[in-house]
Structure 1
Amino acid sequence: MAKFMVSITHAKDNSDKATVGFVVANASAASGVETVVFLTVEGVRLSSKGYTDDIHEEGFAPLKQLMDDFVEAEGKIWVCSPCFKKRGLDGNNLVKGATIVGGAKVVEFLTTGGSCITY
């Protein structure tokens, strides 16, 4: 089975990139590809419940809806542990489908046949 990772490094600092990243992730998951979104740098903020409620880029579905649709399609959201800790975010307030992971998990995914694109 094909494996695809979308790395999202932005949140409200560039909501267009965050939104497009989830649009691509949804297309991948809908195609039956094992798909992971890796939230890193500022992108880890997207993993906090309520954070995306007011993000809606013109021409796209609201980001919260895109994220919910992605998880419903069996997509996985991985959150960079050091980036999350650096920002002092609450690990008990994660959105559905989000898991805090270390870099080794990402390396394993990519070195066993996964490809990656970054937004």
Structure 2
Amino acid sequence: MSKKLVVSVTHAHNDPDKATVAFVVANASVASGQETVVFLNVEGAYLAEQGRAEDIHEEGFAPLKELMDQFIEAGGKIWVCSPCFKKRHLDEDKLVEGATIVGGAKLVEFLSQGAACITY
């Protein structure tokens, strides 16, 4: 069985609850020894730009920025959908720490290695 997980995040300010829960799950995954990738796509791509997550704080959870920082510090990876990032005219010079802009082929390669995927 693969020890890999992709958490696909398709939301940001448009659904802060889903964006937050995605990073809660990603943190649980990386803490349990899984090689964990968060894939920011569709509206989730906004979270790849510095300053976008700072004001997201769902009741009952840690602030999203804190969850994102914990994820990176624990060894998680953040991949950002290249076309989604470009479509939203986001600034590559303002990428959050630990984020890498990737194409679909990178995600497909990781999934083909047996990674499970969950989407929020």
Return structure 1 stretches of 4+ with deviation > 3 angstroms: none
Question: Would you say 1:38 and 2:26 are equivalent positions?
Answer: no
Residue 89 of structure 2: aligned partner:
88
Deviation of 1:101 (Å)? 0.1
TM-score normalised by structure 2 residue count:
0.98
What residue in structure 2 maps to residue 69 of structure 1?
Answer: 70
Letter paired with 2:99: A
| CA distance in structure 1 between the partners assigned to 2:9 and 2:53 by the alignment | 14
> C-alpha distance in 1, partners of 2:34/2:44?
22
Q: What is the distance in 1 between the residues matched to 2:54 and 2:12?
A: 12
Specify the alignment match of 2:23 in structure 1: 22
Equivalence map 1:95-110=2 (5 Å): 95-110=96-111
Instruction: Please give the secondary structure, in 2, of the residue aligned with 1:12.
Output: coil
TM-score, length-normalised on structure 1?
Answer: 0.99
Secondary structure of the structure 2 residue equivalent to 1:99:
strand
Aligned CA-pair RMSD: 0.6
Q: State the match for 1:58 in structure 2.
A: 59
CA distance in 2, matches of 1:5, 1:26: 12
Length, aligned pairs only: 119
Structure 1 unmatched ranges of 5 or more? none
Q: What's the CA shift for 1:113? A: 1.0
User: Displacement, 1:44?
Assistant: 0.3
Q: What SS does structure 2 have at the residue aligned with 1:92?
A: helix
Q: Secondary structure at the match of 1:45?
A: helix
